[in-house]
Amino acid sequence: MTDTPLRIGIIGGTGLGDALGAEAGETRELDTPFGKPSSPITLTQWHGVEIAILQRHGPGHVFNPTHVPYRANIHALKSLGVTHVLASGATGSLQEHIQPGQLVIADQVIDRTHRRAKTFYEHAAVHVEFSEPFCPVMRQWLLAAAKRLDSDVKVHDGGTYVCMEGPAFSTKAESHMHRQMGGDLIGMTCMPEAKLAREAELAYALIAMPTDYDCWRPHTSDQPVQALLEEIMGNLKRATTANISLMKAALSDVTLLSQQPSPAHDALKLAIWSDKSKLDPAEVERLSVLWGRYFEQAEVG
């Protein structure tokens, strides 16, 4: 992977390209062995950096977290030559010190989803190493960029993201349980996205955008529901503005990503436990975008 040209896939919401100020590019409509991705992918540049922008929930936010086509999204990005994935998403905060409107560069995840396809390799034994679910090189890159931001943009170094199934939010009992489990953030989209990126040998990092304190922290006022919702939307707007600033700062210097390979780029090297000669050649070919380089000299079928 060290000789592969750098291309950063950005997974976020509608209008992200315009917010970044990305140059005019081309839009690709793709199909994959796992269906169509959730949106067309825009191939463009930001100050010379090749980027590919994908809307996780689709145009108009039509996919709820359970039904996002995660496998199609990651496969499509891989097929377009993406080497690194920079994802972002709204979350709740499970800790007092992580305030709504701030940012968190997550470093751990607890997967509590149960209705989602979590692997590309359903007809082979493939076991990727996942103790560190977020790329340490990308985390270092983002944290270095955070130091170049205005002092009023608070970026937390590390946090455990609890990924729940949804689409309903937590009960109070669940919210307290997530805190007791060691969670710092609660969201619905990190998994299986991060795991699939690892299976595709893509470096992956996540910028979490807390919008509220979930429901574990009692409200201290008698605000009506509408006012609370407006407060949450205001926090999301502040976090989104900070997120765009962080992305711009990071993309302005990708030297670290160019010079230091991610451990994820060789994630399949020791992960394919199946005897390659026993695998169905049609399945090997179907997933060639993901694992093809490990079968170039192997006798299959």
> Which CATH number belongs to the domain containing residue 184 in this structure?
3.40.50.1580
Which tokens belong to 124?
């082979």
53 found inside a domain: yes
Closest CA to 162 of 110, 214, 91: 110
Comparing 5-9, 28-32, 178-182, 217-221, the range with the smallest average pLDDT is 217-221
What is the distance of C-alpha 254 from the center of its chain? Answer: 18
Annotated ligand binding at 212? The verdict is: yes
Which tokens belong to 26?
């081309």
Q: Residue 300 to residues 125, 270, 289: CA-CA distances in angstroms? A: 15, 17, 16
Asked whether the predicted pLDDT for residue 221 surpasses 80, the reply is no
Annotated ligand binding at 56? The verdict is: yes
Q: Which residue has the higher pLDDT, 229 or 215?
A: 215
Asked whether the predicted pLDDT for residue 3 surpasses 80, the reply is no
Give the count of domains, the chain. 1
105 found inside a domain: yes
> For residues 73 and 193, is the Cβ–Cβ distance under 8 A?
yes
Annotated ligand binding at 213? The verdict is: yes
Q: Which residue has the higher pLDDT, 228 or 252?
A: 252
Annotated ligand binding at 57? The verdict is: yes
104 pairs with which residues across the strands?
156, 208
Asked whether the predicted pLDDT for residue 117 surpasses 70, the reply is yes
Q: What is the dihedral of CA 212, 203, 246, 99, to 10 degrees?
A: 20
Asked whether the predicted pLDDT for residue 241 surpasses 80, the reply is yes
2 found inside a domain: no
Provide mean pLDDT across the span 130-159.
Answer: 95
Asked whether the predicted pLDDT for residue 218 surpasses 90, the reply is no
Strands 8-12 and 84-93: parallel
| pLDDT tens profile 19-66 | 887 777 899 999 999 999 999 999 999 889 999 999 999 999 999 999
- What domain range is 265 assigned to? 8-294
So which residues are the catalytic ones? 212, 214
Q: What is the pLDDT of residue 102?
A: 94
CB environment 212-226: b (16+ within 10 A), e (fewer):
bbbbbbeeeeeeeee
Rounded Cα distance, 122 and 141, in Å = 34
287 found inside a domain: yes
85 found inside a domain: yes
pTM exceeds 0.85, yes or no? yes
Q: What is the share, in percent, of the chain residues with pLDDT greater than 90?
A: 82
Q: What is the pLDDT of residue 209?
A: 94
3 found inside a domain: no
Give the pLDDT band (50/70/90) at residue 223: low
Annotated ligand binding at 189? The verdict is: yes
Mean pLDDT of the chain: 93
60 found inside a domain: yes
Give the pLDDT band (50/70/90) at residue 13: confident
Closest CA to 188 of 80, 286, 79, 114: 114
Q: What is the pLDDT of residue 193?
A: 98
Provide mean pLDDT across the span 15-22.
Answer: 73
Q: Which residue has the higher pLDDT, 218 or 240?
A: 240
Give the pLDDT band (50/70/90) at residue 261: very high
Comparing 74-78, 151-155, 277-281, the range with the smallest average pLDDT is 151-155
Provide mean pLDDT across the span 136-148.
Answer: 97
Q: What is the pLDDT of residue 275?
A: 97
Which tokens belong to 269?
């090297």
301 found inside a domain: no
Q: What is the pLDDT of residue 111?
A: 98
